[in-house]
Amino acid sequence: MKKIIVVLLFIPLALLITQCHRNVKTQKNMSSVTQTTLDSTINQLVAKFGATQKEKITKGVTQTAALWIKTDGKDADFKKFCLENYYGDDKKLDQLFERMETNLEILYGNFNRISLDLKRPLHIDKGEMIPVDDIFGAYDPTAHMNDDFFANKIAFVTILNFPFYTLQEKIDLSPKWSRKQWAFARLGDLYTSRVPSEVLQKYADAYTAADNYISAYNIYVGNLLNDKNETLFPKDLKLITHWGLRDELKSHYVGENGLEKQKMIYQVMLRIINQDIPDSVINNPKVKWNPFSNKVTKNNKDIDNSPEPNTRYEKMLGIYNALQGIDKYNPQYPTYIQRKFEQEMEIPQAEVEKMFIEFITKPEIKQVAQLIQSRLKRKLEPFDIWYDGFKPRSTISEDDLTAKVRAKYKNVDDFQNDLVNILIKLQFTKEKAEFISSKVSVDPARGSGHAWGTQMKGDKSHLRTKFPSDGWNYKGYNIACHEFGHNVEQTLSMYDVDYYSLAGVPNTGFTEALAFVFQKRDLDLLGIKNDDPLKEYNQTLDNFWSCYEIMGVSLVDMNTWKWLYAHPKATKSELKAAVISNAKEVWNKYYADVFGVKDCEILAVYSHMIDDPLYLSAYPVGQLIQFQIERYIKDKNFANEIMRIYTFGRPIPEVWMKHAVGADISIDPMIKATDEALQKAAK
């Protein structure tokens, strides 16, 4: 599926809301407050408000001092500020909290709306794009917000009264915290660094450049030729990489010439990864291309097939270089890897990696692989990491599914108008279904689709879906079901959560989980029933195999970012070599024995690696969460459980999971269910 653009409240902090004064050099030595002033300020506040507040006072004053620089005022100004702006009275603190929540919702909600609207020409398939669209789309309206908030001292008021707690502190204190204390802690997450606005704008520029590159990276597969000079796909079929190519490959486990079509798409993917794809065939309907010989023809004549000049890795490197500029202003999380996992995901990277490796080395992997091989009646190919035969739709022709979709949905408005019915089918009351649907806008996307959430009540989340001129297809519908799952989460976790600072979910894995839950029900929502008694077991095997695939991809992503930090001066050519090497290394360790093929680089094909670094880990985490949720709500009212679970807001992951299913995130439920499914499949 297309990568998801989910705007989660206050996340990632270093990118959304951590700007600073332009004169700051590095945060490690930025504080201008002397230890004498710091101690004196703490002592006076403790004397005024009592020893019971000493820990909070110490934390708040110390953290305020850490970000106080000369341009903020002298030591006397710092002390005066703290003494006048510390809210030691509970009633006054509550009043401050409520005012902060109200005003932050106004700011973040409207800034999100501005960003969304400025990117409409880039994301919405309405009219021709012009060069200025890229400039407006890259503009970050929040870039100077924290410059202003440190200058006017709002940031310091927040830090002083709602101090920051580390992940370990949150884990230790969570059993004692009330909902309001969690909300206070989330306000404390706002200001952990001061990053110059120009540095953040450089990141926004790099991200937009990479995003636009990926969004416009289409292959006209209807113009692909085999060695017999034959075309195998519909004439006008255009697919975005990697999502469209992957989903097309998955669709050919049934139908005529399926294996040959899969091998052709696989070869295209390898060309993209290795960057020996001819530059002239990218997003070009006027040429034909044999991905095996790499010849390009136009009007039956060979033309230049010069390769793409490592643009794929240049865009990835651009994002890394921009993030390096942010790193030095984040002493608590000095690398993007740490910010992504410890700050945003709130699960340490080492733990995520360990969990993935434990999963993909389970003996059940080879057992499921053998089952797939027996069903295919051939040896496994590397692209069988995307084997799609366990899904209920695997026995139904793709053309039949597309025909069903097109009969039901003539345009995006038809899907928009059907959202209420979809939710009612999922056991939501008519009233709740109408409310949620009224908060979701369906738009025609330039790319394969995404979900963009709101950050204020009264606004809508957006579901972007690719709707070709010749009509919607099943793949587009399937992705739209996934995106609608995001929109439902975005609506519930904004409108039905008790505190604005707790709105959202702990990390993107949790919103992916609900998106997978919705996507899994796509055929039911189309009115296609599956009475197969093995349905549940096949779905388990499908989830298991999907995790095996995406966990390997995630390991490549993580290993590549470790490599980047070890080689900060890398060129795009060196980065390309490293990505391919990492992909082969992961393949050889965890996949070669299963597939019987060594040195395969296919795990590096995912576009997320280029324009959404380290996002990929959210998918397998989301799949594990999805599986645990599905098992827990199996015999319960679907809508009631989803509303109970997804209105809990944004504490840390382990607290959320214990509320949702009574257990931590774990691979064990899926492994256990896979063992059961394999036993059933063997009978």
**Region 462-472: what's the mean pLDDT?**
89
Residue 647 phi, psi dihedral angles, 5° rounding:
-110, 15
Selected residue with higher pLDDT from 466 and 77: 77
Q: How many CB atoms lie within 10 A of CB 458?
A: 10
pLDDT of residue 125: 84
Pairing outcome for strands 440-444 and 238-240: unpaired
CB 349 within 8 A of CB 355: no
Which of 440-449, 622-631, 640-649 is the least confident region? Answer: 440-449
Contact yes or no for 281/241 (Cβ under 8 A): no
**What's the gap between Cα 191 and its chain centre?**
23
User: d(Cα 194, Cα 186) in Å, to the nearest integer?
Assistant: 17
pLDDT tops 60 at residue 371 = yes
Q: Tens digit of pLDDT for each residue in 139-151?
A: 888 878 888 999 9
% of the chain residues with pLDDT over 90? 82
* pLDDT band (50, 70, 90) for residue 2: very low
Would you call 484 exposed, middle or buried from its count of C-beta atoms within 10 A (0-12, 13-18, 19+)?
A: buried
**Among 4-18, 492-506, 608-622, which is the least confidently predicted range?**
4-18
Edge-to-edge strand ranges of the sheet holding 301-303? 288-290, 295-298, 301-303
pLDDT score, position 384:
98
Q: What is the pLDDT of residues 215-263, one digit of tens each?
A: 899 999 999 999 999 999 999 999 999 999 999 999 999 888 999 999 9
CA distance 656 to 661: 9
Tokens for 629, please give them.
């949720």
Question: Cα dihedral sign for 223, 226, 229, 233?
Answer: negative
Residue 191's nearest CA partner among 37, 343, 34 is: 343
pLDDT classification of 4: cutoffs 50, 70, 90 = very low
- pLDDT over 80 at 5, yes or no: no
**C-alpha dihedral, 675 to 677 to 678 to 680, nearest 10°:** 130
In a domain, 255, yes or no: yes
Q: How far apart are CA 216 and CA 610, in angstroms?
A: 13
**pLDDT value of position 531:** 75
Q: What angle do CA 56, 60, 63 make, to 5 degrees?
A: 140
Q: Which amino acid makes up residue 5?
A: I
In a domain, 272, yes or no: yes
Which of the four pLDDT bands, split at 50, 70 and 90, describes residue 23? very low
Token pair, residue 563, equals 């490599």
Q: Which residue's entry shows tokens 């903020």?
A: 72
Left, alpha or beta for 447 (phi > 0: left; psi -120 to 50: alpha)? Answer: beta
**Is 675 strand, coil or helix?**
helix
Reported as a single tens digit per residue, the pLDDT across 392-451 is 766 677 888 999 999 999 999 999 999 999 999 999 999 999 999 999 999 988 877 789
Contacts of residues 674-682 at CB distance under 8 Å and 24 or more positions apart, as own/partner, are 674/364, 674/368, 674/540, 674/541, 674/544, 675/364, 676/537, 676/540, 677/537, 677/538, 677/540, 677/541, 677/544, 678/364, 678/367, 678/368, 678/371, 678/541, 680/534, 680/537, 681/371, 681/534, 681/537, 681/541
pLDDT-above-70 percentage for the chain: 95
Q: Which residue has the tokens 């960057």?
A: 275
Residue 299: inside a domain = yes
306 domain-assigned? yes
Chain position carrying tokens 């998918």: 619
Q: How does residue 10 score in pLDDT terms, banded at 50, 70 and 90?
A: very low
Q: Determine the pLDDT at residue 683.
A: 65
In this prediction, residue 132 has a pLDDT band, given cuts at 50, 70 and 90, of very high
Q: Kindly state whether residue 300 falls inside one of the protein's structural domains.
A: yes
Could you tell me which residue, 127 or 300, shows the higher pLDDT? 300
Asked if residue 602 is part of any domain, the answer here is: no
172 class by beta-carbon count within 10 Å (0-12 exposed, 13-18 middle, 19+ buried): exposed
Over the stretch 272-307, which tens digit does the pLDDT of each residue have?
Answer: 999 999 999 999 999 999 999 999 999 999 999 999
Q: Indicate the pairing of strand 19-20 with strand 440-444.
A: unpaired
pLDDT at 22 over 50: no
Q: Distance between CA atoms of 340 and 362, rounded to whole angstroms?
A: 27
pLDDT number for residue 19: 27
What single letter denotes the amino acid at residue 587? W
Q: 158 in a domain, yes or no?
A: no
656 or 128: which carries more pLDDT confidence? 656
CA distance linking residue 239 with residue 245, whole number of Å: 6
pLDDT at residue 375 is higher than 70: yes
- C-alpha pair distances (Å), 18 with each of 145, 147, 319: 8, 8, 17
Q: Look at residue 673 and tell me whether its pLDDT is greater than 70.
A: yes
Find residue 307's DSSP bridge partners. Answer: 278
**Domain enclosing residue 267, as ranges:** 214-311
| Segment holding 293, helix H or strand E | none
The yes-or-no verdict on residue 594 having pLDDT over 70 is: yes
pLDDT value of position 29: 53
Cα–Cα distance measured from residue 657 to residue 663, given in angstroms and rounded to the nearest whole number: 6
pLDDT at 15 over 50: no
Please, what is the average pLDDT of the chain? 92
Helix (H) or strand (E) holding 174: none
Confirm if 136 and 204 have CB atoms less than 8 A apart: no
Classify residue 258 by burial, with Cβ atoms within 10 Å: 0-12, 13-18, 19+: middle
The total domain count for the chain is: 1
